[in-house]
Amino acid sequence: MVNIKINGVDYAVEEGTTILEACRMNGIKIPTLCWLKEINAIGACRICVVEMTGARSLVASCVYPISKFDEGKNILTHSPAVLESRKTTLQLLLSNHNKKCLSCDRSGNCELQALCRELGVDDENAFDGAINEYEIDTSAAHMYRDNNKCINCRRCVAACEKTQGIGVIGANNRGFATSIACAFEMDLADTACVSCGQCIAVCPTGALGEKDDTDKVWAALADPTKTVVVQTAPAVRASLGEAFGFPMGTDVQGKLAAALFKLGFAHVFDTNFGADLTILEESNELLERITKGGVLPMITSCSPGWIRYCEAYYPEFIPNLSSCKSPQQMTGAMLKTYWAEKNGIDPKNIVSVSVMPCTAKKFEIGRDDQSAAGVADVDISITTRELVKMINKAGIRFAELEDAQFESPFGSGTGAAVIFGATGGVMEAALRTAVWKLTGEKNDSPIEFSEVRGVDGVKFAEYTAGGATVKVAVVSGLANAKALLEKVKAGEVDVQFIEVMACPGGCVNGGGQVIVPADVRNFTDIRAERAKALYNLDAKNTVRKSHESEDVKRVYAEFLGEIGGHKAHELLHTTYKASNLSK
């Protein structure tokens, strides 16, 4: 321990702790812009500077580890010199920044804007001079990049390279000409970007954002010739409330359904239904591969960011991918076949909308082999953030809504389905059905498989049932997936089933979820807090295994026929192909 003073008050902190963390642990917030815990400690933005006894100049608190040589030193976090330095830095950033805040998607939730307000920066033209101007890159299916609002904090670069192990963006040029872009100034669409949106999630300004498809939804809702239906993913209900003042991890399932009805959707469904379908098809596929000598390990296919990554970076694992469509696409396929047929509606006149925690879903809806009825399974996919915009634009007082229910037959979902939104959830849901099958379809087969729960990047477990042993692995975050796949290739890991989620922690931390400022993200595990809502919903559900869903049973009996049969394969399964995009 090292004895130090912070603003004249004595504290003892563990050697190696940074000044920023020491202050945070003792109830003092130091502002940051570039720092992201564990992945972007570069001291570049200089917003976190402090004064320190004996130092010749202000020091960056995020990268200054306290050592025994600092014994007894005093750290000043808000002295006149510190405050003036931070204010000057913000003025310099604003001098090369597009300041059209009123029309910016991030206005009100912009870290640069918030710091300017806190530090009283009201002279935005303090440093007049040259301003860089950039074309906005809208080439990708899922997002835009507006470098006119970029502050070169490099958070997006760290998320892409370190969290996801991809690195298709970085700093180009030097000095005042520095910009964050792709190699050789390529368009993002020409790179092997996987559309995960983790760069958007960590951006402190409006430089990065998902493509706004809400105008398409509004237009569809206003078209009397169209039947507009919507489905919503499990993770959305664990994040949406944060945008309306609810604590992180609050389950707002009832209010979510109510808001969608109030927006004017003709029918409101739950993607949990598609998740239950996925489990029946996927667990059947797994058992067939195990018993009939299929390609192992089988790897889950419900994360489109992961699928895009596999096709671009590890095409040799394409045969290992489950052929199942994602829950979003399965729900969309059933809407435009089974549901359309039962209701006498031409699939061409159905506009199928999805609300997802994921930006990669915008890419997924345009993939080949995702059109069970000869038209797209899902027409428009919007993120949780886009839904927030729609609710606000419609003047809906979200917090005051009375809970509503999703509609039958696609409104029901088991406990197994709702945990899809957390890392390990797909695996646990599949195990509930696979183990039930292996044990002779016993009703007392296990429900909870705690070994695959939690936010660890990689988890392993082994289960024995009906005389068979199934070894599994769960991984989230593509850098972790890369490390695991390399071990599988080297023969160092022997498993039969792998769950991969592109986003760390799973869909609860998806690239389309409500933005959380770095000050919260760095010191709160948003993955765990949001996942709690899903596990609580699972625990409260009276039906917790996908194969026990009466609605799913009815759909197979009336329409699909046998699980894994010809019709199910035709409508609920898909194909993959290697990508030739630039890595």
Q: Say if 578 falls within a structural domain.
A: no
Per-residue pLDDT band at 467 (split at 50, 70, 90): confident
Q: Say if 508 falls within a structural domain.
A: yes
Of residues 581 and 565, which shows the higher confidence score? 565
- pLDDT per residue over 134-175, tens digit each? 999 999 999 999 999 999 999 999 999 999 999 999 999 999
Report CA dihedral (327, 192, 382, 322) to the nearest 10 degrees.
Answer: 0
Distances (CA, A) of 556 to 326, 438, 545: 18, 21, 16
Q: Say if 168 falls within a structural domain.
A: yes
How many structural domains is the chain composed of?
3
From 16, 48, 78, the end of a domain falls on 78
* Cβ(502)–Cβ(189) below 8 Å: no
pLDDT for the residue numbered 46 = 96
Q: Are residues 149 and 253 in the same domain?
A: no
Q: Are residues 460 and 349 in the same domain?
A: yes
Q: Are residues 165 and 235 in the same domain?
A: no
Per-residue pLDDT band at 27 (split at 50, 70, 90): very high
| DSSP of 468-495 | EEEEEEEEESHHHHHHHHHHHHTT----
Judge whether residue 529 has pLDDT over 90: yes
Judge whether residue 64 has pLDDT over 90: yes
Per-residue pLDDT band at 357 (split at 50, 70, 90): very high
Task: Return the SS3 of 539.
Answer: helix
The pLDDT of 16-45, averaged and rounded, is: 96
Judge whether residue 497 has pLDDT over 90: yes
151, two tokens: 């502050």
Q: Say if 307 falls within a structural domain.
A: yes
* Boundaries of domain holding 342: 215-572
Q: What CATH number does residue 176 fall under?
A: 3.30.70.20
Q: Say if 86 falls within a structural domain.
A: no
Q: What CATH number does residue 229 fall under?
A: 3.40.50.1780
pLDDT for the residue numbered 123 = 75
Sign of CA dihedral 242, 245, 251, 257: negative
Calpha distance 99→140 (Å, rounded) = 25
Q: Say if 84 falls within a structural domain.
A: no
pLDDT for the residue numbered 55 = 87
Q: Are residues 173 and 295 in the same domain?
A: no
Q: Say how far residue 233 (Cα) sits from the centre of its chain.
A: 12
Q: How many residues does the chain have?
A: 583
Distances (CA, A) of 292 to 145, 464, 473, 577: 48, 18, 21, 24
Q: Are residues 49 and 114 in the same domain?
A: no
The pLDDT of 476-502, averaged and rounded, is: 97
Task: Return the SS3 of 291.
Answer: helix
Per-residue pLDDT band at 319 (split at 50, 70, 90): very high
Query: How many distinct helices (H) and strands (E) make up the chain?
Result: 20, 17
Q: What is the mean pLDDT of the chain?
A: 96
**In 3D, which of 244, 240, 249 has the Cα closest to residue 537?**
249
pLDDT for the residue numbered 441 = 85
Q: Are residues 385 and 242 in the same domain?
A: yes
Calpha distance 288→286 (Å, rounded) = 5
* Cβ(446)–Cβ(460) below 8 Å: no
From 173, 192, 210, the end of a domain falls on 210
DSSP letter at 137 equals B
pTM: 0.96
- pLDDT per residue over 68-91, tens digit each? 999 999 999 999 999 999 999 999
Q: 468 - beta bridge partners?
A: 465
Q: Are residues 173 and 48 in the same domain?
A: no
From 192, 210, 228, the end of a domain falls on 210
* Type and span of the H or E element at 527: helix 526-540
Helix axes 384-393, 253-263, angle to 10 degrees: 60
Q: Are residues 457 and 441 in the same domain?
A: yes
Contacts 24+ apart (CB under 8 A), 575-580: 575/323, 575/368, 575/369, 576/307, 576/310, 576/311, 576/318, 576/321, 577/311, 577/318, 577/368, 578/311, 578/312, 578/315, 578/318, 579/192, 579/308, 579/311, 579/312, 579/315
Q: Say if 85 falls within a structural domain.
A: no
Per-residue pLDDT band at 301 (split at 50, 70, 90): very high
324, two tokens: 């199942």
Q: Are residues 178 and 278 in the same domain?
A: no
User: HSE-up of 496 (CA within 13 Å, CB side)?
Assistant: 21
pLDDT for the residue numbered 490 = 97
Q: Are residues 305 and 383 in the same domain?
A: yes
Q: Are residues 45 and 129 in the same domain?
A: no
Q: Are residues 276 and 425 in the same domain?
A: yes
Give the percent of the chain with pLDDT over 90.
94
Cite the DSSP H helix spans in 42-192. Answer: 80-94, 111-118, 155-158
- 207: CB partners within 8 A, 6+ apart: 145, 146, 147, 148, 149, 150, 151, 156, 180
**In 3D, which of 383, 397, 361, 518 has the Cα closest to residue 105?**
383
pLDDT for the residue numbered 468 = 86
- pLDDT per residue over 403-449, tens digit each? 999 998 898 899 999 999 999 999 999 999 999 999 888 888 899 99
Q: Say if 89 falls within a structural domain.
A: no
Judge whether residue 518 has pLDDT over 80: yes
Helix axes 478-489, 304-313, angle to 10 degrees: 50
Calpha distance 348→225 (Å, rounded) = 10
